[in-house]
Chain A
Amino acid sequence: MIKVVVSFFVLMVVISAGTVYSLKETTERLEARKHQLSAQILKDRVAIKVLRAEMAYLSQPERLQKLSARFLALTPAHSTQMAGAINAIATREEAIGEEDGQSRYKLVSFPVDEFPVLLPQNKPQNKPQIRTQVSFQNKKMNKIKDKKVKPASFYDRISLTIGDDE
C-alpha cells in the first residue's frame, strides 16, 4: 500500500516537474522570439522613418520641378485643361486633326541623360560640365543634342514650353 502511495507521489513529482520545465522552456523560447520580432519591427519602423525623411528630402518640390522639366514632356496643369462636366471633353474624332488624319496631341518624352540635378546643399564648385551623351533617335531631339546644359538656378522659373529652341 505504502509502496503504491510513494510510487504514485514520486511519479507525480516527476511528471509535474517535467511539465513545469517544458512549459517554462516553451515560454522562454516564445518570449525570446517575441523580443526578436519586436526588435525587428522597431528596427523596421526606424528605417521607414529614415526613408520617409529621405523621400521628403528627395521630393522637394523645387527639385522635382527641375527634374520634371528636364526629363518629362509634362508641363504644369493649366486651367484650360480642366473640365467641369463630362460634355466639356473633346471626343476622339474631334481630337484628330484635319490635315493628315493624325492626332493633334503627340506624346513625347525626353531621353534620360546625365543631367546633373543638384541637391540644395551641394557646393556649386562641384558642378560638372556635362554634355548630353545619349544618342538621340528622334530627329527633333537632335537640336538640343550639343547644347550645354546649364543647371537651373533658384531664380529661374521653369518655362511652360520645353523642347523648342529659344
Chain B
Amino acid sequence: MRSADLHIEGVKHEAIEVARNRLMVPAFLFVLGFGILVVRLVSIGIFEDISDQVTYSQPVTTEIMQERVDILDRNGVVLATNLSAPSLAVRPRLITEPEETADRIVAVLPDLNRTRVLNKLKSSHHFLYIKRNLTPKQVWHINALGYPGLILEQAEKRIYPQGNLASHVLGYVDVENKPQAGVEKFFNDHLSNTVRSNEPLYLSLDIRVQHIVRQELAFAMNKFSAIGGAGMVMDINTGEVLAMTSLPDFDGNGSVQPASSEMKNRNILEPYEMGSGFKVFTIAMALDSGTVTLNDAFDATEPLKVGRRTINDDHAKERILNVPEIFTFSSNIGSSLIIREVGVERQKNYLQKFGLFEKPVVELTGLSRPILPAHWGEIQSMTVSYGHGIAVTPLHLVAGISAMINGGRLIPATLIRKDTAVENASLDLPKSFEDEYYPQVISPETSQKMRHLMRLAVEYGSGGRARVKGYLVGGKTGTAEKVVNGKYSRQDKITSFVGAFPMDNPKYVVFAMLDEPKGIEETFYKATGGWVAAPVVGEIIKRIGPLLGVLPREYIETKYHNLILVDAGK
C-alpha cells in the first residue's frame, strides 16, 4: 500500500514536479516584468528631469521682463520706466446686455462716450479695443464687473515721472512704444532689449541740476519775453552733461506733436551765431600759436574798414587796447586785428581742431552741422573771430570752451554716466580718465591764460552779473543778431553766456542762451548777453555750487588785472 502510495506518489510527484517546473516560467516572467517596472519607476523618480514631468507648471522667473529698459539719472532717480497698463477690449458676441454693460464701463471710465462704447458692444466684429492704458485702479474695477466679454490685454506704457524736466534729452516713444527722439532713440538697441530689462541706463544728468537750470532759464525767459532758451551744465574734465535743457519743452507722457517748436532741442538742433563767445577761441589760438602775446596792443580807436564792411565795437573804448582788454571789453575791432595776425589758414586749422567744423558729439539724434562761411577770405576770417558769419550749436561752444580751460584737451560731451569702477571692470584695465587719450588742442599754458582772461571778463567786463559770492566765476558773454529771412535783424538777438567755475580749478561749464529777449526797464531796455544771460548763469552757479559740493573760497584778484585799464567810476 505504501509502495503503491509511493508509486502513486511517484506518479503524482512527477506530475507535480512538472507542474512546479512549468510554474517557474510564469513566476520568472512575473518577477522579470515587475522588476522592469520597479527599475523604470526608480529611474523616472530619480534620474529624469523633473520639469519635463511636471507639466502643470510654467517656467518660473523672478526677473521682471519689460519691453523697454528703464532710464535713470546719475543718482538713480527714475527718468523713464515701463509700467503695465492693460488695454480694455471687448468681444461683442459675448456681451448679452450691451446697455447695462456700457453704463457700468462708463461709470468706471468716465472720459469715455457712452454712445460710442454702446456701438462697440453691439457691433458685429469679433474683437474691438475700447481704451488703451488703464490704470491699476481702473483694471481692478473692470475686473470687478466680471463680464466675460470684456478683455484686458496686457500692455506696457512708457512713463516719464519727471514730466517736462528732461524731455529733450530723453526723447519720447510713440503709442507702439517705438522711440522717436533723444536718448530713447540713440540707445534703442539697449533699451528695447528685453533680456537686459534689469540693466537700467544711467545717464550723466543730475536731475536737481537739470531742474535748477530749467527753472532759472524759464524765469529769465519770462522776464525778458524771450521765445526760447537753452541751458547746459557740463563737467569739463569728463565731458559728462549734468543738465541739458531747451525751452519751450514738452511732456513725453502726453500726446506729442512732432513738428511743434516744443520739440526743438536748441542745444543741438539749430546752429546759431554765437557772437563774442567766439573771442575765447580767437584769443586762445592767437596765444597758442605764439603770434600774439598778452602784452601786445592793437589800435581800436576807430571802426575798422575792411572792403565795404565796417567793424564796430559795442562797448567802444576808442583807444589802444592790449590783448586782455580786447577780451574783457569784447572789442570786435581788436579781435579782427588779432586774427589778421594769426592768418586765415591757421584760424581754420584751429577751429577744426576745436571740433567746430563737424557735427557735435553726443549720444542724441538730430545733431546739426555748423554753418560755415562759403568763402573764407580775410573779411570772413575777421567776422568769424568775433562769432559772426559762423553758426554753431550751443553744444559745440560748450565743448570747445571746456577744452580751452581744462588744460587744452577736447573731451567729447557725453550723456552717459562715466563710472570708473564699472568701466575698468568691463575692460579689465587699470585705466582712469586722466590717462584716456583726448586730443590736445591747445597747450596747458595757454589754457591757464584763458582761465585768467575769462575771469577778467566777469570781474571787469561785460559778464559782471555772473559774479557769485564764494566762487571764482569766469566766462564770456555773447550777443548776436538773428538772421531773419536772410538778413540780420536789429531787434531780434541771440544772447548767450558761457561761464565756468571755480576758475582756480575749473570743474563745470555753465551755458545759458536766450532767443529774442526784449530789454526791460531794469536793464535800460538792453537785451545783451551781459544783461540777460549772465545773471542766469550766475544764479545757476549760486544754486548748483553747494549742491555739487564745490568748495567756496575767498576772493582773489585776477592775475592780469594790472593789464586792464578800467574806466574811472567803474
Chain A positions within 8 Å of B, measured between CB atoms, are 2, 5-6, 9, 12-13, 16-17, 19-20, 23-24, 27-28, 31-32, 34-35, 38-39, 41-42, 45-46, 49-50, 52-57, 59-62, 65, 76-82, 84, 120-121, 154-155, 157
Contacts and interface: CB of A to CB of B under 8 A. Distances in A.
B79, B468, B542, B552: residue with the most chain A Cβ atoms closer than 10 Å: B552
Given A79-B552, A84-B553, A9 B34 contact: yes
Given A24-B45, A35-B57, A42 B64 contact: yes
B219 A61 contact: no
Contacts, number: 120
Interface residues of B, number: 53
Interface stretch (B124-132, B161-169, B343-351): B161-169
Nearest to A28: B54
A47 to B, nearest CB: 10
A149 to B, nearest CB: 21
A106 B38 CA distance: 85
A38 B58 CA distance: 11
A84 B38 contact: no
A155 B218 contact: yes
Contact of B215 (A24, A42, A121, A157): A157
Pairs A-B, 6 closest by C-beta atoms:
A79-B470, A61-B211, A56-B161, A79-B552, A77-B546, A56-B78
Contact of B162 (A19, A27, A56): A56
Given A13-B38, A53-B81, A38 B159 contact: no
Contacts of A81: 546
B324 to A, nearest CB: 27
Contacts of A6: 27, 31
B376 to A, nearest CB: 43
Contacts of B553: 84
B64 A49 contact: yes
A62 B34 contact: no
B60 A38 contact: yes
B362 interface: no
Contacts of A31: 50, 54, 57
A38 B551 contact: no
A77 B34 contact: no
Chain A binding surface SS class = helix
B84 interface: yes
A9 B31 contact: yes
A52 B79 CA distance: 10
Contact of A155 (B42, B64, B219): B219
A62 B159 contact: no
Contacts of B60: 34-35, 38-39
Contacts of A12: 38
B62 interface: yes
A5 B469 CA distance: 102
Contacts of B31: 5-6, 9
Nearest to B81: A53
A46 B222 CA distance: 41
A46 B78 contact: no
Contacts of B78: 52-53, 55-56
Interface in B466-515: 468-471
Contacts of A42: 61-64
Contacts of B37: 13
Nearest to B64: A45
